[in-house]
Structure 1
Amino acid sequence: SRRVNETATFFTVTTLPGALEPRGEGFKAAAMVRLMHSMVRFNILRRMKSWDKSVYGIPVPQVDQMPAGLIDVFLLAYQMLDEGRTEFTAEERARVEFSRYRCYLLGLPEDLLMDTPQGIVDIMNARGASIREGFDDKTCGTLVRATLEAYLPPDQKLGHRIFNALEKRLARLVLVKHFLNGDSDRAREIGVPVGASEYAVAAVLFPYIAAKMALYRFALSVPGLRKMADRRLTARIRRLLKRYGHAEFTSNAEAYRPAVPATA
C-alpha cells in the first residue's frame, strides 16, 4: 500500500498550480522518482543474472512509467481515432503536453513521447508488443491482486473503510473495461472477479463523479467562477495528498528477490 500511495502522491502533486516549474513540488518529486527507479535498475543489473545485457541491452529509462504517465492521453487518442478525429482541441493539446512534460521529467526519452493521436496509440501499442507474451500468474497476477486488495486509507475509521470498499469495486471495473477489453471471464481467471455489487456501485457513483466533473469544468470556463473553483480544487488536492501521507520514494536493494530463482 505504501508504494501505491507514493505513486498516487506523485501524479497528484504534479497537478498543483506551478508544481512542474523548476523547484516546484512536482518537479522535485519527479527528480526523486527518477533517482529511485535508476537505483532499482542499477541494482537489478548488478545483482541478478537473469537479465543478459548482451541480449536485452540496458532498460529504457522509465519505460515502465509509460502506462501510468500516458494512460489518460492514450485513451483520449483512441477515442479520437474512433471518432475520425486527428487533431487535438486546445484543451486536449494542453492535457497531452502536460502528460508529455511530466513523463519527460521522469526520464522518458522524447522519442517515446508522441504528440499526435495516431503516434500516441502506435507507441503505446509498440510498447505492449515488446512485453513478453503471456500472463505469469505467480508474478503478474500476484501484483494485480495485491494492488487491488491493498488498504490505502491512513486509518480504520468507518468513513475510510467505506471509501476503500467502494474504491476497490470501481477499480475492478476500470481494470476490466480498459485493460481486459471488458472480458469479465478473464478477470475471474486472474482472481479479480466483478459481479453485481461492482456494477451497482458504479451505477451510483460514476454518474455522481461525472456530474461533479462537469460542474467544475463549467465553473472553470466562467470568468467569475474560475478563481473560486480553482481554489476549491487545489484545496481538495491538498487534502488528498495529506491522506496519502508523506512519500519517501526510496528503494531497498537488500529486499529485492527474483520472481524465479536464477539457475546456477
Structure 2
Amino acid sequence: MTRQRGDLPGIYGEVDFTVTPERLDQNATIDDERFAATRDAVRRVFDRPELLETMRNATMTGDRIADAYAALIPEHGFRALVEMLEAACEHGVDSVENAPRELVDLISAMENTPAWVDMELVEQGARTERIPMATATPLAIRGAFLATFLNKYAALPMTMTGTLSDEAAAKRVFETASFFTATTMPGALQRSGKGFEAAAKVRLMHSMVRYHILNSGQWDVATYGIPIPQADQMPAGLIGVFLMSAQLLRKGQTDFTPEQRASVELSRYRCFLLGLPKDLLGETPQEIVDLLIARHVSLREGYDDETCGALVRGTMDADLFDTSSITGRLHAWLENGFSKFVLIKSFLGGDTARAASIGITFGPAEKMAAGVAAGTVALKTMFYRFGLRLPLVDGYVDARLNRRLAKLLDMYGHADFVTDADRYKLH
C-alpha cells in the first residue's frame, strides 16, 4: 500500500498513506443499528480483525500496474495509451512500436494467470453464466448499477467524472452490461478474446480516473481514501456470487455445487484480470460472504442528495431503450419494474420506504412489471437450461443463446471504457 507513493509519485506523490480516511468506520460495533439485519454475519467479521485490516489496506490501494501505465498520460496522451493497449491486446505487445515498459508490464501481469485460477472451471462458468446474461441482465443491470450509488464515499468519483447526464448514465450502464456479457461469450477470456481486452480497458479507465482526480488537488484523501480503490471494485465483480453464497448459507449449505463453483471461478478470474489480489477473492460461500461483509462493516454509512441522489436520478431518467416500437416500450416497462425490484430486494433489504426517500418509486405498475419480468426470465432460463441438456437440440439452443448474447452486445453499443477528463466536475 505505502509503496504506491514512492513507485508512482505522478499519481500518489501527495497522498499521506498514514492517514485513516473518514470513510473507514473505525467506531463501528456489533451493536450498531445498521447491522440489525446482518448481526450474525457481522459478528464473524468482528471476531476476525485481520479482515478489517485487509479492508483498510484495500481502501487505500489502487492498481499499481495499470496506474503506472496511466501515469504516462502527460507523455503520450490518454487516447494514444488506449490505442496502444488495444493493439497489444489484439495483436500482441510486440506489435506496438516502442511499447512503453509500463504497457508490457500490464499485459504480462494479465497474461500471467495465477496457479489458484482453474481455467477449465472458468470456461465452464462462462458457459453457465451465458444464461443469466441473456435473460436477467438486460432487465436488472440498471438496478445493480444503482446499488453503487448508495454511499457517498464510494460514489463520489462517478459524480466527479461527469456521469450525471442521462446520456453519460446510459453509456455507463451499457458499458457495465457489455463487459460482463462479453466475458461469457465463447473464448472471450482467452488471451486473444474480447473479454480479456475489455478487462484491460476497464483497468486503464479506472487508473485514468485516479490519475486525474488525485492530480486535481481537489480530492480529499483524508475523507474518501483512494478513488476507486480495490475495496470498491470487489462488489462490482463479486456481487452475484455474494448473493448466491449468502442464500446458500441461510439454507445451511457450506459448499457450492459444481455448476456454482464454476460461476465463482469465472468471477474470481474476471476480478484477477481487473487487478484484484487473491486475498480479496474468497473460494467458499463463507469466505466470500465474510469478505463482502467486512467491506460493508468498514465503509461508513453516508448518503447525500448532491452526490448519491443526483446519480440515482440521472441513471433512472436515462432512456436505455428505443421506445418507438411496441416491443421497445414493453421492454422498457419490464426493465423499469424489474431493475427497481432487484435494487430494493438485493441492496435495500426490501425497504421500499428507503427506496422512495431516494427517488425510487415502486408502486402497483412497477410491481406488476417486475412480476411479469420475473416470470419471463424464469421461462427463458428454463428453456435454455433444459434445451442445453437435450442431445437432439442442444446444438441449436447453444447457437441461439450465443446469437442472443451477440444481439445484446450490439444493442449495448460499442464500449469505449473511457471517461472525458474535460468533463470532470472537480469541486
Q: TM-score scaled to structure 2, two decimals?
A: 0.57
Counterpart-to-counterpart distance in 1, 2:267 and 2:370: 27
Counterpart-to-counterpart distance in 1, 2:231 and 2:403: 32
Query: Is residue 2:219 matched to residue 1:50?
Result: yes
Runs of at least 5 residues in structure 1 that lack an aligned partner in the other structure? none
Residue aligning to 1:40: 209
Question: Of residues 233, 237, 259 in structure 1, which corresponds to 2:405?
Answer: 237
Structure 1 runs (4+) deviating above 4 angstroms are 55-62
Mapped contact 2:182–2:188 kept (Cα < 8 A)? yes
Question: Of residues 3, 9, 12 in structure 1, which corresponds to 2:181?
Answer: 12
Structure 2 counterpart SS, 1:33: helix
Mapped contact 2:213–2:219 kept (Cα < 8 A)? no
Mapped contact 2:333–2:369 kept (Cα < 8 A)? no
Residue aligning to 1:208: 376
Question: Of residues 326, 332, 337 in structure 2, which corresponds to 1:169?
Answer: 337
Counterpart-to-counterpart distance in 1, 2:194 and 2:227: 27
Q: 1:77 to 1:46 in 2, by over 3 A?
A: same
1:90-142 CA distance string (max 9 Å, x none): 00000000011011111112211111101111111122223231211211122
Mapped contact 1:149–1:168 kept (Cα < 8 A)? no
Residue aligning to 2:69: none
1:54-77 CA distance string (max 9 Å, x none): x87655755433222211101100
Counterpart-to-counterpart distance in 2, 1:67 and 1:156: 35
Structure 1 counterpart SS, 2:172: helix
1:188-223 CA distance string (max 9 Å, x none): 111101111111112222122112102211122233
Question: Of residues 301, 311, 324 in structure 2, which corresponds to 1:133?
Answer: 301
Greater mean alpha carbon deviation, residues 195-204 or residues 238-247: 195-204
Q: TM-score scaled to structure 1, two decimals?
A: 0.91
Residue aligning to 1:147: 315
Mapped contact 2:255–2:285 kept (Cα < 8 A)? yes
Query: Is residue 2:102 matched to residue 1:102?
Result: no
Mapped contact 1:36–1:250 kept (Cα < 8 A)? yes
Counterpart-to-counterpart distance in 2, 1:20 and 1:61: 24
Mapped contact 2:210–2:228 kept (Cα < 8 A)? no
Question: Of residues 337, 348, 351 in structure 2, which corresponds to 1:180?
Answer: 348
Q: 1:155 to 1:204 in 2, by over 3 A?
A: closer
Question: Of residues 323, 327, 343 in structure 2, which corresponds to 1:159?
Answer: 327
- How many pairs does the alignment contain? 258
Query: Is residue 2:358 matched to residue 1:190?
Result: yes
Counterpart-to-counterpart distance in 2, 1:10 and 1:36: 13
Q: 1:147 to 1:56 in 2, by over 3 A?
A: closer
Counterpart-to-counterpart distance in 2, 1:217 and 1:98: 19
Whichever of the two has the greater Rg, that structure is 2
The amino acid across from 1:144 in the alignment is V
The amino acid across from 2:200 in the alignment is A
Query: Is residue 2:176 matched to residue 1:25?
Result: no
Counterpart-to-counterpart distance in 2, 1:235 and 1:150: 27
The amino acid across from 1:221 in the alignment is R
Residue aligning to 1:115: 283
Mapped contact 1:87–1:116 kept (Cα < 8 A)? yes
Runs of at least 5 residues in structure 2 that lack an aligned partner in the other structure? 1-169
Superposition pairs of residues 218-229 of structure 1, within 5 angstroms: 218-229=386-397
Q: 1:155 to 1:169 in 2, by over 3 A?
A: closer
Structure 2 counterpart SS, 1:151: coil
Structure 2 counterpart SS, 1:224: coil
Aligned-residue CA RMSD (Å):
1.9
